[in-house]
Amino acid sequence: MDDEPIVRWYWIGDHLGYLGHLLADHALLALPPVLIGLLIALPLGLACSRFPRLYQPLSAVLNVVYAVPSLAVFVVLIPYTGLATEASVMVPLTFYALAVLLPTTVDGLRAVPEAVRQAATAMGYGPWRRLAAVELPAAVPYLVAGLRVAAVASISLASVGALIGRGGLGYLFIDGFQRTFPTPIVAGIVLIAALALVVDLVLVGARRLLAPWAVREKGAGS
């Protein structure tokens, strides 16, 4: 075992299909909770921006949830969601994503200048049309920033689910440790990092597409 190389390339070549399956499974575990968290964060963020007293209690609760170790949350949910189920992993990841996305959503909505809101109202925009056409587009840079953090965190934390039987690429870590065989561990690390990088680049591209003015302002400021 002392002479075991860090990577045995033949093993990776022989398991490309298996690695691809785990990668797809990992993405399906990690990314939907981020989207669900965004769908929850938007109405909650709107409510918090309209009623500021609501924000502090909600933020405090989510911060407490975010501080709890992910494995502990997974284990606590097992009696309700079952062992080795998607829900046991995705429910905690949704709360973790929400803890990141709620503050950025509130900050984005609060960042819209009051003069802009008043101008939209003067042009005949009702509250919902103003929200869709003015406030949410202006908040896009904040939302994407939160999504980038939440997505990378979710991709990383999803691997912990392997300890309860549902963890995508996390299986490679368990397999490698159990057999004192580092190749699966290295493969898992590289694939998780690659997935996080690809998702992050997609979100950066989405920000450039949805909020090109923010990119220009950043370039002008530098």
Q: Which two tokens stand for residue 195?
A: 């997935």
Max CA distance (Å), the chain: 75
Position 133 confidence tier, pLDDT thresholds 50, 70, 90? confident
Please state, in angstroms and rounded to a whole number, the distance separating the CA atoms of residues 17 and 31: 21
Q: Taking Cα atoms as reference points, which of 100, 87, 109 lies closest to residue 34? A: 100
CATH class of residue range 9-221: mainly alpha
Percent of the chain with pLDDT over 90: 53
Percent of the chain with pLDDT over 70: 94
Q: Taking Cα atoms as reference points, which of 106, 101, 114 lies closest to residue 48? A: 106
What lies within 8 Å, CB to CB, of 167 at 6+ separation is: 26, 29, 89, 158, 159, 160, 161
pLDDT in tens, 68-86: 888 888 888 888 888 778 8
pLDDT in tens, 144-189: 999 999 999 999 999 998 888 888 999 999 999 999 899 999 999 9
Sign of the Cα pseudo-torsion (198, 86, 73, 56, in order): positive
Contact (CB, 8 A) for 60 and 67: no
Please state, in angstroms and rounded to a whole number, the distance separating the CA atoms of residues 94 and 119: 36
| Residue 217 pLDDT | 53
| Residue 218 pLDDT | 54
Q: Taking Cα atoms as reference points, which of 147, 31, 175, 163 lies closest to residue 93? A: 31
Lowest mean pLDDT of 36-40, 132-136, 152-156, name the range: 132-136
Contact (CB, 8 A) for 96 and 165: no
